[in-house]
Structure 1
Amino acid sequence: AAIEQQMSMTGASMFWLDALQDCKLDQSLSLPFDRYRLSNEHRTGRGTTISSDFGQDLSHDFLIHASSNNISLEQLALATYYVFLFKLTNGENDLCIGINTHGRYRDELNSIIGMFVNAIPLRCQLDPHLSFHKFTKRVQNNMINCMKYSYFPLQRILNQHPNISNPVFLDTSLEFISYKSNNAIMIGDSQLVPAPFPFNMNEDERL
């Protein structure tokens, strides 16, 4: 708490107010769905993860593109995700999604035990006429700026928009997890790779 009091809340407040100006935080993206979900439907917090393998060639090109353009894998994945959402929504060019940050924005917090995760909005005003290279650089700069002020609590960001009753932008999010594993199991043409979970689940919560 003492460390947070030392952070510039005024600068962070001004940044988020400007970044989300005229952003429709309570408007859902027109994404395809398999069933209609009621706005007041009770949520259990459970979900299903579906993974797909890009293949060795595409994965290699992804790594090379990130390295040669001096952009992180997470930033490149975010830019690709925005383009994917742009196509799914038939050209929606003002996209806002949620992303969880680790919250340890200062070295002093790295050795402290506790939950520091903070969700922040990441807005992208996509120009379809930009080249992908220029677009990824724009996404990179935007993400760097947002992470700089990621310590600003989500609730205080939402308080800047009192007319927003339901921040549905949090329904669409991106979580980038990078890990290495040498325990791949081949079954026919399929490869199974164990993925670590950053949290614990009870037996009755597993799907």
Structure 2
Amino acid sequence: MRHLPLSALQQRFWYLCTAYPGDASPILVLNWRLRGPLDVPAWESAVSAVVDRHESLRTGFVLRDGEPVQVVMPPAGLGTELIDLRDLPPEQRDARTAELMRARTHRLLDLTEDPLVGSCLLRLADDHHVWCFTMHHLLADGASLRIVGREIRAAYLAALEGAVPDLPKLDLQYGDFAQWQAEQDQAADLAYWCERLAGAPSLELPTDLPRPEEKSAHSAEHIHQMGPELAAGVVELSRKARCTPFMVLLTALQVLLRERGGQDDFCVGTPVAGRVRAEFEPVVGLFANTLALRADLSGDPTFTDLLRRTRTTVIGGLQRQSVPLGRIIATLGVARDPGRTQLFDVVFSMRNDNPVLASQLGGLEVEGFPHGHAKVLHDLVFDIWRLDEAGLRAGIRYDTALFRPDTVHELGRRYEQILSAAVARPGDRLSEMVASRG
């Protein structure tokens, strides 16, 4: 066993998980529906092989003098729980499947007592299975899910042939990243962030319900679909403005939040991959950081002018993305408030983790299996998926202790209106965009 300190990113996440426990842990989920002749022993072997490769998937936590320490266990595989539902009538089988998936993906884990990685295989018929793989967010990030998915596929095909899977060599493990991160001289980048974020006010959005003294992290999600014409318009505007679609979409969100809260100055959080060295690309672990992007909507700018400001802010943040958010918060001395998160209450992200499209794997057809939305620790989380054929899909996750569904539905509708106005008339000032509200 190896005992290691938590990385700076893990320290921040540990605080979030213990300060705002709610009713479910932040669990990353890989759910696949498998149709066809599944070789169960080969599948179990593939799962164990991938878990043994990555120290993060063999890691637990203990407390020493009240402080968390991670413990890396030696390779020992991972058992895949097999649950046979073939004897149930179809309607009961489907309901039981959904119930079992929810029990594994929406639960509150004890970080020092419960297993933080799990594998479960449901047998619905001889040629029909559902596989669920879960990892606590303290151990991994969204990119890690994609790594696990790719490696499970390769390991399963190799297991069918009795061969060793051809997987990328791991020169480093997550503990090496934690040590590397701790050794970096980030004084200049930290100074940039502290200067940029000093005195940033909280975003005071009107809520439907009084803000509780302690944040509960109960959540729901609203999906708002926008058409392909608007998606194409966003891409064209970004091209003309020499920026990215992300910057256009974030700027539109800033306009929406200004309308709702009446503030010209506030921060929005956005996740970044944080894998700043090529050696970290194939490693499972928590590399993802969050940037606090400070908006400046003062002076009634045009959307084009505001987009330039956002472009400068985003580029400056990405150039300094390796500074852990927790280190910035500690240096700034941001007060802890059990009723809200520090620096920002709204998160914006562009996602590329759409459900797995149907594909072939050694005689199996593999497709994604829905498992609901992830819990939120912030008031609002705007997730945008770019779908070239179908347009833009916005998933708005929200704290149900603060907002009612109809309010969130209206936020989605108004966000689309702002985007449409920006694409059609980027030279309009913000006051004109508000005046033209439909």
TM interval, short-chain normalised: 0.7 to 0.9
Larger strand fraction of residues? 2
Distance 1:34 1:195, change over 3 A: farther
Q: Which moved more, 1:129-138 or 1:174-183?
A: 174-183
Residue in structure 2 matched with residue 74 of structure 1 by the alignment: 246
The alpha-carbon deviation at position 5 of structure 1 amounts to 4.6
> What is the match of residue 207 of structure 2?
33
1:60 matched to 2:237: no
Change (3 A) 1:160 1:131: same
> What's 2:349 paired with?
175
Mean CA deviation greater in 168-177 or 73-82 = 168-177
Cα separation, 2, equivalents of 1:18 and 1:195:
45
Report the CA distance between 1:42 and its aligned residue: 3.2
Query: Which is bigger in relative contact order (C-alpha 8 A, separation at least 6)?
Result: 1
Give the whole-Å Cα distance in 2 for the aligned partners of 1:195 and 1:135.
40
- Contact preservation (8 Å) 2:194, 2:331: yes
Task: Specify the SS of the correspondent of 2:220.
Answer: coil
Single out whichever of 67-76 and 1-10 deviates more from structure 2: 1-10
Q: Following TM superposition, by how much is the alpha carbon of 1:52 offset from its aligned partner in structure 2, in angstroms?
A: 1.4
The answer to whether the Cα contact below 8 Å between 1:95 and 1:126 also exists between their aligned partners in 2 is no
Measured after TM superposition, the shift of residue 163 of structure 1 is 5.2
Q: Equivalents in 2 of 1:106, 1:128: separation in Å? A: 40
**Could you tell me how far apart the structure 1 residues matched to 2:369 and 2:225 are?**
14
Count of aligned positions:
184
**Alignment of structure 1 residues 137-156 onto 2, 5 Å:** 137-156=308-327
- Which of 1 and 2 has greater Rg? 2
Q: Please say if 1:22 is aligned against 2:199.
A: yes
Q: CA RMSD in A?
A: 2.9
Amino acid at match of 1:30: E
TM-score by length of 1: 0.76
Structure 1: 5+ residue stretches without partners: 184-193, 202-207
- Provide the TM-score with structure 2 as the length reference: 0.38
Percent identical pairs in the alignment equals: 19
Indicate the larger mover: 110-119 or 10-19.
Answer: 110-119
Which amino acid letter does the alignment assign opposite residue 38 of structure 1?
P
1:87 to 242, 256, 259: 259
Aligned residue for 1:133, secondary structure, equals helix
Task: Name the structure 1 match of 2:283.
Answer: 112
- What's the CA shift for 1:65? 0.9
Paired amino acid for 1:177 = R
Matches of 2:183 and 2:284 in 1, distance apart?
20
Number of the residue aligned with 1:204: none
